[in-house]
Amino acid sequence: MKAIFMNPQKAITQAYIILLMTAFLFFTGAKGYADITLSKFLAFSLLSCTYVVSMAVASIAAARVCRPLSAVALLKKLSWPQRAALLYLSVTWISAFASPYWPETVLGASRYEGAFTITLYVLCFLLVAAYGEADRLLLWALVAVVTLESLLCIVQLTGKNPFGLYPKGYSYFDAGKAYGGEYLGTLGNTDLLAAFYCLAVPILAYGMAYMKGVKRLALLAAFALSSYILVRISVMAGFVGIAAGLLLALPMGFREKRTRLICAAALAGLLLAALLTLYIADPPVGMPHEIHNILHGDFDSSFGSGRIHIWKEVAAAAVTRPLLGSGPDTMINGGLEPFTRYDAELGIKIVAMIDTAHNEYLNIWYHQGILALGAYIWLLVLLVKRWTAAAPADGAALALGAGIIGYCAQAFFGFSMCITAPFFWTALGLLARRIDPAKGKE
């Protein structure tokens, strides 16, 4: 019988991804939502540093058997997406060193999104892109964790407090009354929960197309539960991300180029029709009303739960240090005008300090500068270009790309944090590995 052997680096990488999807996802720390950001940061740092060190040890061990590559040879061996990620990391550290807030830029001034965290994102991307494998095991792990996460959220939406994540005596329905923000599940803030679903739900949806019988029903159950949670929490960025992931990836599901073009044209026509409808008709409330006004040139600062105000403030400040920004995670020190709104239910004016742009692309420009933003977008463009060529013939690549599109779309209204960003960078790595032309030559 032929022995089954897995490359040690691949085994370590697959174990890391499984732990990220399980232990890290469900870990909330001893204080629950009261200290979840720090707890997640420490857990992510410990898990990822262990992964990087383990991979270094495995590589040193392998170097004793095989001739080690020089730095120049290693760089040549990297794919272009990996090089773009390295460029993004390099500019991030230059920004951190050049910042007037150094050394706060290492860990970050408010959200633990400093150069250290970004380094872990990129290193894990590079390693996953080199050794990861988007196999059935990872898909079933995703199905399991999405199902469990959604079931926990459903229990919390009944007013209960399993695991004591809310302070004693509080529940989800005290959001905005007894405490600020909305928290649900093991990711905390509902915006971050929606970001996770924007990555996971399109993967589940496209994964169903390649399953049969009971297996398809398992994916459908996870898809339905997570969709229900998204509807209940009503995060608009989540709706945008899910729609983008499901629809924009649809043309890539067809093998014939002509059919893909027809599908893409049909989707573009539907989008234009929707925008024309909103331009003509003025819905009374909500996001459709705000879109109607924006299409008519009215960029009211209160639109998007204050995002228009935040974007104006951040953009105005970003142009003062355009090349290298203010340094990673230093916006809280920027003296931006806070966002204020009157809460009729509480009868008070709420003042919120601005420490993130609520637009990941604008956030990178402000913090790390236009050079880092260019490298980041270059990375995404390189992956999209390869994905469009590989997706029609590769179901796993199609599903991963759909999830990444969903996350990137919601990121236009959201923010990166070590609570959800590790899943995104891991998905990027898995996609980069899946569609790497050099993989077939191994």
List pLDDT tens digits, range 184-196.
Answer: 999 999 999 999 9
What pLDDT band is residue 302 in, cutting at 50, 70 and 90?
low
CA distance 308 to 429: 32
CA distance 101 to 104: 6
What pLDDT band is residue 391 in, cutting at 50, 70 and 90?
confident
- pLDDT of 69 reads 56
Residues sharing a CB contact under 8 Å with residue 281, sequence separation 6 or more, in sequence order: 292
- pLDDT of 3 reads 42
Structure token digits, residue 314: 């951040």
Tell me which residue has tokens 């040890």.
57
CA 365 from chain centre, in angstroms, equals: 17
Q: Tell me the mean pLDDT in the region 306-323.
A: 90
Lowest mean pLDDT among 115-129, 326-340, 375-389: 326-340
User: 368-396: string of b/e by CB count within 10 Å (b at 16+)?
Assistant: bbbbbbbbbebbbebbeebbeebbbebbb
Q: Are 208 and 220 in contact (CB under 8 A)?
A: yes
- pLDDT of 5 reads 53
Q: Per-residue pLDDT for 4 more than 60? A: no
Comparison of pLDDT for 65 and 424, the residue scoring more: 424
Query: CB 422: neighbour CB atoms within 10 A?
Result: 25
Peptide bond into 103 cis (omega under 30): yes
pTM comes to 0.92
What pLDDT band is residue 28 in, cutting at 50, 70 and 90?
very high
Query: CB 428: neighbour CB atoms within 10 A?
Result: 25
**Per residue in 210-267, pLDDT tens?**
877 888 999 999 999 999 999 999 898 999 999 999 999 999 988 888 898 999 999 9
Q: Per-residue pLDDT for 54 more than 80? A: yes
